[in-house]
Amino acid sequence: MSDTPHAAARPAAPPSDPSASAAPPVPAVPTVPLGEALRFWLKLGFISFGGPAGQIAIMHSELVQRRRWISERRFLHALNYCMVLPGPEAQQLATYIGWLMHRTWGGLIAGGLFVLPSLFILIGLSWLYMAHGNLGWVQGLFWGIKPAVVAVIAFAGWRLGSKVLRAPLAWALALASFAALLAGVAFPWVIAAAALVGVFTAQHWAPASHAQAGGATADTGGHVIDDHTPPPAHARFAPRHLALLLAVGAALWLLPMAVLTALYGWQGALTQMGWFFTKVALLTFGGAYAVLPYVYQGAVDHYGWLTATQMIDGLALGETTPGPLIMVVAFVGYVGGWGAAEGLALSPAAAGAVAATVVTFFTFLPSFLFILIGGPLVESGRQHSRLAAPLAAVSAAVVGGIAKLAVFFAAAVLWAPAALDARYAASLGIALAAGVALFVFKRSVIEVIGAAAVLGVALNAVLG
C-alpha cells in the first residue's frame, strides 16, 4: 500500500533528467539551411522595389506566408523595433530576421545583400550619368523621371501625414518644421526640438499604432520561428556579448576613419564623407525623404560635392533601383568622388566608386549595430512605450520636412521659364499624370517612374 502514493507522485522527473532543470532549454539554431537563406536574401536585394512599405510587404509574403520561416507576431515584433530606430527599417528588418535565424553572420548576410545589389547598380548608373550624361537618350531619361519624382515625394508626404497628423499638436509641429526648414534651420535641430516637444507633451499623444504588414493574416502555426519559440542562445542578452559588440562597432568606425585621415587628412573629401554620412545615418528617422533635406544642405550647400540639379537626378536614380531609397547617398558619394579624383590620385571613375563605397559603409554601419546590439533586448520582451510620444512628434516634424523637400524639388523642376514652351508643358504634364497615377489609380512608384522614363526618352526625341 505504501507504493501507491509514490506511484502517484512519479510524474516528477528524476534529478538526473535534464528536463527537471528550472532554466528553460536553449533551443537549437532554426532549421533553415544558411545556403537557402542566402539565396533568398540575394533575390530580395534585386527585387526590393517599392520603398519600405513594398519591401516589408515582400518580406511578409515570402517569410511569413509562403516560406513560413517566422510567425506573424514575431515578424511584427521585430518590425516595431526597427520602426523606432533611425535608418532604413526594411533593411534593418531583414538584418534582424537573418540574425535571429543564423546568428551574426546571418544578419550580416541578410542586411548586406539588401544593400549591395543597389550599390553596384547605382555605381554603374552613376558612371553612365557622369561619363555619358550628354547623350540624348540619357537626358531624356532624366527629363522624364524628374517631374515624376516631384509627384512621388508629394505622395510620400501625404501617405505619412495621413497616418501621423491626427491631432492639432501634430499639425502644429509639421507646420513649424516646414517653416523652420524653409528659414534655413538645420534638420538635426528641427528633429531634436520635435523630440523634446514630444517628451514634454506626452499626455497629448495617443499610443502609436503600428501598421500591419500588407496582407497580414492571423498566425496558423507551423513556422520555423513560431510565436512561442524561445529565443535561441545567441539572441539572449549577455553583458559580455554587448561589450564585445560595442568594442567591435567602435573599431569598425574608428579604424576606417583613421585610415582615411592618415591618407587624405581630416578635411579630405573621403574623410568628410565618412563623418557627414555617419551623422546622416543617425538622423534617418521617418525614412529617406525625411533626411534628404539634411543631405542636400550638407552635400550641396556646405561641401559642394554636387549641384542641386545633380541631387535631383540622383534622387531620380534612387527611385529606379532596388534597395532602400537612402541609397541615393551612393550617388552623392560617386559624384563627389568624381569631382575630387585629382586629390585622391585616382581616375574619376575609380574615385567615384571608392567614394560611393565609403559613403555606403558609413551610412549603414549603425543600422547593423542597432540590430546586433538591441536584438537581444527586444527578444527578451522589453517594450519601448516611453519612446512613443517623442517618436510621434518626430514623425509629425518629418511630414514638414517632406513638404519642404517637395516644394524644393517642384521649384527646381517645374518652375515656369520666362517663355512657356513645349518642353515645360510636357514636364508639367508628366508630373500631373504621375500624381494621378499615384493618388487616384494607386499605381506603384516603380511603375510610375518607369512610365515617366519611357515618356521622357520619347518626348525628348520628338521635341529635341
* pLDDT value of residue 210: 38
* pLDDT value of residue 358: 97
- 25 within a domain of the structure (yes/no): no
Backbone angles phi, psi at 359, to 5 degrees: -60, -45
Q: Which three cell numbers stand for residue 456?
A: 521622357
* pLDDT value of residue 306: 95
- 269 within a domain of the structure (yes/no): yes
CA distance 58 to 47: 9
- 416 within a domain of the structure (yes/no): yes
Backbone angles phi, psi at 225, to 5 degrees: -110, 100
CA distance 45 to 222: 26
* pLDDT value of residue 328: 92
**3-state helix vs strand vs coil in the chain, percent to 5:** 75, 0, 25
- Of 87, 58, 130, the C-alpha closest to 314 is 130
CA distance 254 to 260: 10
- 409 within a domain of the structure (yes/no): yes
CA distance 350 to 337: 8
Q: Specify the amino acid at residue 204.
A: H
Q: pTM score, two decimals?
A: 0.73
Three-state DSSP state, 165: coil
- 32 within a domain of the structure (yes/no): no
Identify the domain containing residue 436 by its residue range: 40-207+238-463
Helix axes 288-296, 269-281, angle to 10 degrees: 150
- 81 within a domain of the structure (yes/no): yes
Rg (CA), the chain: 25
Residue 463 has a CB neighbour count (10 Å cut-off) of 13
The beta strands (E) that lie in 315-397 are given as: none
Question: Which residues, 6 or more positions from 273, have their beta carbon under 8 angstroms from its beta carbon?
Answer: 305, 333, 336, 337, 355, 358, 359, 362
* pLDDT value of residue 212: 40
Residue 308 contacts residue 412 (beta carbons within 8 Å): yes
Helix axes 288-296, 136-164, angle to 10 degrees: 120
Residue 424 contacts residue 418 (beta carbons within 8 Å): no
Total domains, the chain: 1
- Of 130, 58, 88, 110, the C-alpha closest to 350 is 130
- 24 within a domain of the structure (yes/no): no
The beta strands (E) that lie in 69-185 are given as: none
pLDDT along the chain (464 residues), means of 10: 40 44 49 90 83 75 87 79 81 94 94 95 93 80 83 79 83 92 80 85 56 44 77 84 93 97 95 96 74 87 92 84 88 96 94 97 95 85 56 77 79 70 87 92 83 89 81
* pLDDT value of residue 442: 87
- 27 within a domain of the structure (yes/no): no
Displacement of CA 395 from its chain's centroid (Å): 15
* pLDDT value of residue 356: 97
Three-state DSSP state, 225: strand
